Structure 1
Amino acid sequence: MKAVYTVLLLLVANVFMTFAWYGHLKFKEWKWLESPGLISIVLISWGFALFEYFFQVPANRIGYQENGGPFNLMQLKVIQEVITLVVFVVFSTVFFKNETLKWNHLAAFACIILAVYFIFKK
């Protein structure tokens, strides 16, 4: 069950982090945020990132082997990276209509899936 909680918390954390990193690129389309200065954008993004930490830190604490979780440090990191890419692909296709998934993107994702396989191989 700790594995499920870890993955779900990482998923939520990555949604917040993706908005923090890339959401500001769409601000110009929203009337109330069309022309904030760089400092304002950084502060808004930092606000999103703060919520990311509310989920990321507990996910790592729950999931880490030395805290009674099922994953070692390398496994936690690779899981987090895969979740980050999945969230990013969904985010970019929903919010950035001009971005398309190409064969080389899929090939790169296949390599990441291989990374997951190798990191969990005993």
Structure 2
Amino acid sequence: MVGKNYPPEFKADAVALYESRPEGTIGSVTPDLGINPETLRNWVRAAGASPPRGRQMEEPAQPPAPLKVENAALRKKVRERRRNARSCAKRRSISPGLSPFQPDRGAVVLVGAGCTERRSSW
């Protein structure tokens, strides 16, 4: 594809038109001129004019302080439960109880430190 050559006066007028419309975007100015938006964007950059306008990223809203406190408490609870689950898994690997497929022939359920262990009475 062959690029078009525009006279310097046209380029300067296009950049001036863009700058004269404070609320206008490159995409809203280019249809009036009959040029590609990227062409005008390049001219604006080359002219060192104001930075391109358009969709601006807004600052993300900071979550309210009570939510931060609640999230911290929930994260702490999750860490404690994970730690507890690891210690329970270690205990079960040392002395495994009945498997879930065996009948409960007088099994005793011991609850301690948040772990539930099943031990056979025979």
Larger % of strand: which? 2
Larger % of helix: which? 1
TM-score by length of 2: 0.26
TM-score by length of 1: 0.26
Q: Which structure has the larger Rg over C-alpha atoms?
A: 2
